[in-house]
Structure 1
Amino acid sequence: MPAVTHDEWLRRAKAYRPPRAHHIDGAEEPGGGAAFTVVSPRDGQVLAEVADGGAAEVDAAVAAARRAFDSGPWPRWAPADRGRVLQRLADLLEERREELALTVSLEMGKPITDAHDIELRAVVNTFRWYGQLAGKLTDESPHTAPDALALVTREPAGVVGAVVPWNFPLTLAGWKVAPALAAGCTVVLKPSENSPLSALLLARAATEAGLPPGVLNVVNGEGPVAGRALGLHPDVDVLAFTGSTAVGRHFLRYSADSNLKRVWLELGGKSPNVVLPDAPDLDRAAATAAWGIFFNQGEMCTAPSRLLVHSSVAERVTEAVVTRARALRVGDPLDPDTEMGALVGEAHLGRVLEHVRHGGEDGARLRTGGSRTLAETGGVFLEPTVFDRVDPGSRLAREEIFGPVLSVLAFDDLDEAVALANATEYGLAAGLWTSDLSTAHRVSRALKAGTVWVNCYEEGDLTVPFGGMKQSGNGRDKSAHALEKYTEQKTTWIQL
């Protein structure tokens, strides 16, 4: 983190001039005149009035992307040339790291240290990694009969619609946009109405990096309007979405009602974090459990929101988590010392508090937190919250909360732990703490999750894929496997 003080971040925030227009066909477009308000959750103040897109703006953006794909240079450039543009974009994002971190912190409440050190590092690395990968991909030539030549090629799928949420607005945009561009596709990005500003700055940087007009377009707007128009659009070939399971179902319906576009979904989670009594370090397991649920205010689909602990060590681990929760520094996202910032908005806070209320009604024991805090600031802050004695069938244990609320459940044997871990409609991620290698292998295979972390949580890099099972979605972000979402496999058989 650079040596930027709280006072300096406050000064920059006061002078901040946000982008407001859509980014269509390589230029900023004001749209039809409608606008919506972006409110900063750190203090409840209006941050920007941003152009509000509807069907007309989506049509314009998709038309630009279609022209750029059908007759523009981008899909026809050598992959290595596309890769060099993506690497230039990574360099520009690195140069503007402080401005982008400030934008993310202001629009969605993430602590500035996390925005700078984690979010921006992730998005820079994403564009750089796919830029490096672009020129290294190969096609296939299977061995066939001597009188024939077979070719299996991967060709860009076309126009990609990408709809991304507010919790990691740049990282998750990068996970969609970078591989799609590396594959030779063109993109229309619809950011969340809560966090459109960072996406607009990303589009500006992409144009400056040398992306031809129409290759990356950004349309602001509400999900039921702009997102729906993108999902139904007959000229969108692929739709990639990260968000709630409920909205994911809408995009599948939009596909069925339009052109049967491929829809790739990364959806919700209710991730279990299983701690066995032979964990190599119970204190580290507890510290990681606390970090995992309170990082990013708990607003993560992979958040380890269910802590499953063997009954013999349950009280020790729970008490350690509670101690860390009470010591956590909740405060102004622009303070570099803040450990947990603001929830994204008042409506979301209300939903989280409703889950907290249900927890008490369903018989769980509130160990710490559970109330709004720092209300005098005008911001949207919640105390880190821990429940134990949680009924496995309760809403607290089964529904995604998407906030800093941890449910602790005890178990007596390994079979019970696996059954509890899998007793959810979701299957995004899971954690396991054990010193036994055989147990680690057997339980990891038994857990129905796209990612299983053993003796750690939220670790990994761009070489490994990310995605879910069951109602947590399909397809994979990250790694070379992400390119499969944005390419069509073609077989060419040549009779010699």
Structure 2
Amino acid sequence: MSSAFAYAPAPESRSVVDLAPSYGLFIDGEFAEGTGGGLRKTVSPATEEVLAEYTQGTAEDVDRAVQAARRAFEKWSALPGAERAKYLFRIARIIQERSRELAVLETLDNGKPIREARDADLPLVAAHFFYYAGWADKLGHAGFGPDPRPLGVAGQVIPWNFPLLMLAWKVAPALACGNTVVLKPAETTPLSALFFADICRQAGLPKGVVNIVTGDGSTGASLVAHPGIDKVAFTGSTEVGKAIARTVAGTDKKLTLELGGKAANIVFDDAPIDQAVEGIVNGIFFNQGHVCCAGSRLLVQESIQDELLDALKRRMATLRVGDPLDKNTDIGAINSAEQLARITELAAAGEAEGAERWSPSCELPGAGYWFAPTLFTGVTQAHRIAREEVFGPVLSVLTFRTPQEAVAKANNTPYGLSAGIWTEKGSRMLWMANQLRAGVIWSNTFNKFDPASPFGGYKESGFGREGGRHGLEAYLNV
């Protein structure tokens, strides 16, 4: 890229975030020490520096949190919906007021670019609380009967790719419906959930309505298996989702799962090339590809393959990889050493199986966890990179000749979370959308979200919907 277009560093100050050296559990409206005495460290993926220590929650800690949520449920569920809405509105406004602090915190702990945390994550977090605050006094008009009732205590386990946004997706509808919550954040990104606990106190939320227990997978397993939980909501890997389904089977617990994906982003020969390229880049390189609905398989009509790939490579060459706190950064750090190893292994498998690998020239930082944006051509449906979820900035390119072939290849996956269609023909969009087995389908765009729109998948991408009116059903006795 010409030096005339080089960007000077524009770092966001991390001084807006006041991190404590150690954090406890948030139970019954207060921070408390864990019973096991164990501590874990959370590190910055960009620098590998230790940000803080936090508590490794035990089964006893989970039980304390569930008991607190159970005690709080009676009064919280008895409140008129309009009163519950006031708390949700208050939380939403505080999130807006503290959005800069929260965006910096999310970037530090997760590794995502500050521009994405600031401009995508935080506005959506606040929007979900605003949206479900509006539903709290209208549940009888949501289409689930004249007097739907809350379930009780919801156990919620969230992933590390969108820590605060996944919290909002789960906590906001649960509270609006009159449930209380025990939430377990991901072990690599606990900090924004702990800051949310402080927001709950700042909003005056009654004690025990929201409880946060940190820890690793064993903590989450204790929460899912606890007999005092009425509802389990999980976002994460398909493997863990299957284990949760086995645990919950045979109980009265309601369950929703939002799991992995291997989305097809399908580009027809009449698509606007430049617009499609932006959608492809956004679809796979947003949040370093740490997106369950990422458009990780590019299906391009054979007649425009060369033109599209040339334009895509030119665009990829302009992507800036580096310090996530720099406002000019497009691609930040991979969330953990474990995830980096997974991405590296699958990329190596792509090469070993005969696909052609290409990455733009970019210098990666010496410390932290990094992976250059990568494109594979010559990919077949048998390649591991076309079948397995990479969950990183790796795009596999396949070709098709007819719409029928595009549908067959797009649906040739155990997943069914999302898809993208690029064409100028409205009839083709609708025909394709009707044929594709995916929960969310974007036309001439990708990765667009709105709290009023439901999100969820089919097959090994899980079941149930989050967002919109549909997202209320998972938290109501209907």
Distance 1:202 1:12 in 2: 16
1:19–1:201 CA contact under 8 A, matched in 2 = no
Distance in 2, Cα, partners of 1:208 & 1:84: 13
Give the conservation status (yes or no) of the 8 Å contact 1:139–1:154: no
Cα deviation 1:58-110 (Å, max 9, x = unaligned): 011011011111x3x21010001101110000111111111111110011101
Report what 1:145 is aligned to: none
433-442 vs 79-88, which deviates more?
433-442
- What is the aligned partner in structure 2 of residue 217 from structure 1? 211
SS at match of 1:351: helix
Matches within 5 A, 1:19-58: 20-32=23-35, 33-58=37-62
Specify the code of the residue in structure 1 equivalent to 2:236: G
1:471 counterpart = 2:460:
yes
Matching residue's letter, 1:41: P
Residues 1:304 and 2:307 are matched in the alignment: no
Alignment partner of 2:125 out of 123, 126, 151: 123
Gaps of at least 5 residues in structure 1 are 143-150, 490-496
Alignment correspondent of 1:282 = 273
Q: What SS class does the counterpart of residue 57 from structure 1 fall into?
A: helix
What's the offset of the Cα at 1:282?
1.3
1:85 paired residue number = 87
CA drift of 1:256 comes to 2.3
Instruction: Determine the structure 2 residue equivalent to 1:101.
Output: 103
SS in 1 for 2:358: strand
Distance 2:290 2:142 in 1: 41
- Match 1:318 to one of 302, 309, 312: 309
Q: 1:397 to 1:7 in 2, by over 3 A?
A: closer
Does 2:198 correspond to 1:198? no
- The secondary structure found in structure 2 opposite 1:382 is coil
Structure 1 or 2, whichever has the larger Rg, is 1
Structure 1: distance between partners of 2:244 and 2:310: 42
Equivalences for residues 305-454 of structure 1 within 5 A: 305-368=296-359, 374-376=364-366, 378-454=367-443
Given the alignment of the two structures, is residue 159 of structure 1 paired with residue 150 of structure 2, yes or no? no
Question: What are the Cα deviations for residues 34-62 of structure 1, in whole angstroms up to 9, with x where unaligned?
Answer: 10010110101111110110101101101
**Measured at CA, do residues 357 and 216 of structure 1 come closer, stay the same or move farther in structure 2, by a change above 3 Å?**
same
CA distance in 2, matches of 1:141, 1:354: 47
- 1:312 aligns to what SS in structure 2? helix
Offset from partner CA, 1:422-448 (integer Å, 9 cap, x none): 000000000001111211111110000
CA distance in 1, matches of 2:302, 2:21: 51
Secondary structure of 2:66's aligned partner: helix
Aligned-partner Cα distance in 1 for 2:143–2:226: 35
Query: What do the CA deviations read for 1:226-272 (whole angstroms, capped 9, x no partner)?
Result: 01001110000000000000000111111126x34111000000000
Q: Where does structure 2 lack aligned partners over 5 or more consecutive residues?
A: 1-8
Would the aligned equivalents of 1:157 and 1:185 in 2 still touch at CA under 8 Å? yes
- The match for 1:183 among 172, 177, 185 is 177
Secondary structure at the aligned position of 1:457 is classed as coil
TM-score normalized by the length of structure 1: 0.92
**In the comparison of the two structures, how many residue pairs are matched?**
469
Counterpart of 1:51 in structure 2: which amino acid?
A: T
Q: Distance in 2 between matches of 1:140 and 1:38?
A: 41
Report the Cα offset of residue 131 of structure 1: 0.8
Q: Report deviation, 1:206.
A: 1.3
In the aligned structure 1, how far is the partner of 2:269 from the partner of 2:261?
25
Summarize deviations over 1:290-348 as a string: whole Å, max 9, x none: 12211100000011000000000011112222222221000101111111100101111
Moved over 6 A (4+): none
What is the Cα deviation at residue 355 of structure 1?
0.6
Aligned to 2:3: none
TM-score by length of 2: 0.95
Q: Secondary structure at the match of 2:477?
A: strand
Q: Is the 8 A contact 1:373 1:381 kept in 2?
A: no
Pairing 1:66–2:70 present: yes
Query: What is the CA-CA distance between 1:373 and the residue it aligns to?
Result: 5.3
When residues 437 and 46 of structure 1 are mapped into structure 2, their CA distance, relative to the original with a 3 A threshold, is same
Cα RMSD, aligned residues only: 1.8
The answer to whether the Cα contact below 8 Å between 1:275 and 1:285 also exists between their aligned partners in 2 is yes
CA distance change for structure 1 residues 429 and 16 in 2, over 3 Å: closer, same or farther?
Answer: same
Deviation at 1:6, TM superposition (A): 4.2
Paired amino acid for 1:274: I
The share of aligned pairs that are identical, in percent, is 45
Partners of 2:239 and 2:303 lie apart in 1 by 38
Secondary structure of 1:153's partner?
A: coil
Alpha-carbon displacement from aligned partner over 1:381-431 (angstroms, at most 9, x marks no partner):
110000111011110101000000000001111111100000000000000
Q: What's 2:140 paired with?
A: 138
- For 2:239, the equivalent position in structure 1 comes to 246
Secondary structure of the residue that 1:471 maps to in structure 2? helix
Q: Is the 8 A contact 1:19 1:197 kept in 2?
A: no
Deviation at 1:139, TM superposition (A): 5.3
